[in-house]
Amino acid sequence: MDDLVTIERDGHVATMTMRRPGARNAQDTALIDALDAAFAECGADDGVHVVILAGAGPVFSAGHDLKELAVGDGSEELLQRRSTPEGRLRHEQEMYVDRCLAIAEFPKPTIARVQGAAIAAGLMLACMCDLIVAADDAVFQNPVLRMTGAGVELLVEPWELGARKAKEFLFTGDPIDATEAWRLGMVNRVFPADRLEDETMALAQRIAAMPPVTVALVKRSVNKTFELMGKRDALDYHFMVHQFAHDTATAQEALARRREKGSVRDIVAERDRAF
Ligand code: ZN
């Protein structure tokens, strides 16, 4: 895909950059496909030891592309596909769950470099990475409950924040800032915004200098620890809860209202107004 995701090499570090800054790097089908292809490329290249996942512009990622999902974006195909529970489940399984879990299981260390905001599926994406570093101006938020959604497709919050904070975060939909995210253990390091790029690269280069086979094994082992704690089953369970929530009367009415609005600006304004 044409420059939707670029890969820049600096020694053994590859910086993978999402480039839809005008849409705050909202993840539409094309961007998700481009990310998938970029991970495949970096995975196949033995010269890449570490991947930095970044977003161009002021915001890391504002989440799924609401325009594509709520209003349709030129083609009616996706809306048609999502118009039945089974079609939507399959779309979300293939495009969101499987693609995200492939990033979590990517056999090399990954660092999400977050500036501005990581919202909803933007947060989900960042959390698929092994480390998260953030600019001091970054915020993290999952406001989908305000829009009637039960989280996004993968419920990362209990694993990232602990049960009690996860509930507050999801129930209120309020953002937490980078320092709070660091305090809670979701973010590894916080840097001044103007130093984020350099500091992330310095950290990545340190990891890239480690024996790559051993780093991959350690990653695998830490991931397995969480799997043994039930993470995979919990994610599967939540995905079905999430699907059920899509079909509640509350959610269906809200979706119909969003379609009438026809503009993402109005949809987001409604989401943020009442709360
Ligand atoms: Zn969904």
pLDDT of residue 179: 98
Q: Please, are residues 65 and 73 in contact by the beta-carbon 8 Å criterion?
A: yes
Ligand 1 centroid to Cα of residue 133, in Å, is: 27
Ligand 1 centroid to Cα of residue 275, in Å, is: 22
pLDDT of residue 109: 98
Q: Please, are residues 6 and 35 in contact by the beta-carbon 8 Å criterion?
A: no
What is the rounded distance in angstroms from the CA atom of residue 168 to the CA atom of residue 163?
9
pLDDT of residue 249: 95
Q: Which residues pair with 9 in a beta bridge?
A: 14
Ligand 1 centroid to Cα of residue 149, in Å, is: 7
Choose among 93, 100, 143, 101: nearest CA to 118.
Answer: 143
Q: Which tokens is 43 given? A: 């995975």
Dihedral sign from CA coordinates of 143, 148, 152, 157 = positive
Ligand 1 centroid to Cα of residue 177, in Å, is: 25
For the sheet containing 139-141, what is the strand order? 117-119, 139-141, 176-177
Q: Please, are residues 154 and 96 in contact by the beta-carbon 8 Å criterion?
A: yes
Ligand 1 centroid to Cα of residue 123, in Å, is: 14
Ligand 1 centroid to Cα of residue 169, in Å, is: 18
In what helix (H) or strand (E) does residue 172 lie, and over which residues does it extend? helix 163-172
Average pLDDT for runs of 10 along the chain of length 275: 88 98 96 97 98 98 89 78 93 97 98 98 98 98 94 97 98 97 98 98 98 98 98 98 96 88 80 76
What is the rounded distance in angstroms from the CA atom of residue 62 to the CA atom of residue 122?
5
Ligand 1 centroid to Cα of residue 274, in Å, is: 22
Ligand 1 centroid to Cα of residue 122, in Å, is: 14
Distances (CA, A) of 103 to 46, 53, 199: 17, 10, 23
Ligand 1 centroid to Cα of residue 5, in Å, is: 23
Ligand 1 centroid to Cα of residue 242, in Å, is: 6
Question: Regarding beta strands 13-18 and 5-10, do their DSSP bridges make them parallel or antiparallel, or are they unpaired?
Answer: antiparallel
Ligand 1 centroid to Cα of residue 96, in Å, is: 9
Neighbours of ion ligand 1 (CB under 5 A): 92
For the sheet containing 5-10, what is the strand order? 5-10, 13-18, 50-55, 110-114, 131-135, 189-191
Ligand 1 centroid to Cα of residue 99, in Å, is: 14
Ligand 1 centroid to Cα of residue 178, in Å, is: 26
Q: For residue 73, give every residue at least 6 positions away whose Cβ sits within 8 Å of its Cβ, in sequence order, or none.
A: 28, 65, 67
Ligand 1 centroid to Cα of residue 7, in Å, is: 29
Distances (CA, A) of 185 to 74, 98, 101, 120, 157: 41, 25, 21, 18, 11
pTM, whole model, 2 decimals?
A: 0.96
Domains plus CATH for the chain?
5-272 (3.90.226.10)
Ligand 1 centroid to Cα of residue 253, in Å, is: 15
Ligand 1 centroid to Cα of residue 33, in Å, is: 18
Ligand 1 centroid to Cα of residue 62, in Å, is: 15
Ligand 1 centroid to Cα of residue 84, in Å, is: 12
pLDDT of residue 73: 67
